[in-house]
Amino acid sequence: MPTLSVLMPLYFRESPAYLDVSLASLAAQTRRADEVILVQEGTLTDEHHAVLDQWRAELGEGVLRVIDAGEAQGLPACLNVGLAHCTGEYVARFDTDDQCLPERFEHQLAYLQSHPKVALLGGHMAEFDPTFGRLVGYKRVPTHPAEIRRFARWRNPFNHPTVVYRRDVALALGGYPDMGANEDYAFWAKFLVAGHLTANLDLVLVNARAGEGLYRRRRGRRYLSGELETLRFLRQIRWLSPLEFGLSYGLRSTVRLLPVGFVERVYLFLRKA
């Protein structure tokens, strides 16, 4: 079985309770990761450290490591710091406010072993309210490589917290592009442009927290500016044609400037599409 690293950014404002749930789900895996790399951005609280100490003991000596982001700022830079510290053949992304289903890594590593040419593998995600008390919907993604390539012309074809990718390929591609939004979408496009095979399992792999806060963060001129930066990058690496670039920006600019309630309706509609 190949070795697996888990890469998680840890922001100092993260809820210790959310962190506890996420690490508990890693401990409950039917196939545990060989190492868990948390990239710390900012000064953690005593509550954070208590949670980390508890799961450091549970996961085993040397498995859970906290790396200080240092001068790195922003999600892409922190992820690249963590990626440089990962030693596994494969790297699984995961977030500190989400929950892995128990067989996530077992399913993904089994698939990757039987499909060694696949460099990037994700899956579906279930979205809940912030307490995990109410199911909001499912964020489903295309599963076949050809479908993924078509889908990726217009939307992100992977759920970032579900992906596992080959570490050597990720490093050879230069890691995550440094941009204000959708750095994962830009990263996946680099895999596709380079001709690497990608896939998604037709399984829910992660439970994620959603709610008005999520929709509020994904609207407004600042978020739109980050999306424009991403679209320009996709055009620069020739993933998008000029027409695709223009149409994508027009659609996104319309949605991002809508009130929060309308943005939520658009997201829920896309979850059902």
Which one has a higher pLDDT value, 265 or 250?
Answer: 250
Q: Are residue 30 and residue 147 in the same domain, yes or no?
A: yes
Query: What single-letter amino acid sits at 69?
Result: A
CB 170 within 8 A of CB 176: no
Residue identified by tokens 């919907």 is 137
Q: Are residue 103 and residue 232 in the same domain, yes or no?
A: no
∠ CA(39), CA(218), CA(180), 5° rounding? 50
Q: Are residue 37 and residue 115 in the same domain, yes or no?
A: yes
Q: What is the pLDDT of residues 42-56, one digit of tens each?
A: 999 999 999 999 999
Task: Say yes or no to pLDDT of 269 above 60.
Answer: no
How many residues are present in the chain?
Answer: 273
* Domain span including residue 265: 211-273
Task: Say yes or no to pLDDT of 273 above 60.
Answer: no
Q: What is the pLDDT of residues 193-249, one digit of tens each?
A: 999 999 999 999 999 998 655 545 555 566 667 788 999 999 999 999 999 888 877
Q: Are residue 125 and residue 181 in the same domain, yes or no?
A: yes
User: For a pLDDT cut of 90, what percent of the chain falls above it?
Assistant: 77
What's the CA gap between 156 and 134, in Å, rounded? Answer: 25
Q: Please report, for residues 18, 101, 197, 220, the alpha-carbon distance to residue 230 in angstroms, rounded to integers and kept in the order given.
A: 29, 30, 22, 16
User: What was the pLDDT predicted at 221?
Assistant: 64
What's the CA gap between 124 and 161, in Å, rounded? Answer: 10
End-of-domain residue from the set 184, 210, 236: 210
End-of-domain residue from the set 210, 234, 258: 210
pTM of the full structure: 0.89
Q: Are residue 43 and residue 164 in the same domain, yes or no?
A: yes
Residue identified by tokens 């992977």 is 158
Q: What is the pLDDT of residues 234-250, one digit of tens each?
A: 999 999 999 988 887 77
Structure tokens at 18: 């959310």
End-of-domain residue from the set 210, 239, 256: 210
What's the CA gap between 6 and 83, in Å, rounded? Answer: 9
What's the CA gap between 157 and 140, in Å, rounded? Answer: 9
State in Å, rounded, how far the first CA of the chain is from the last one: 36
What's the CA gap between 256 and 250, in Å, rounded? Answer: 10
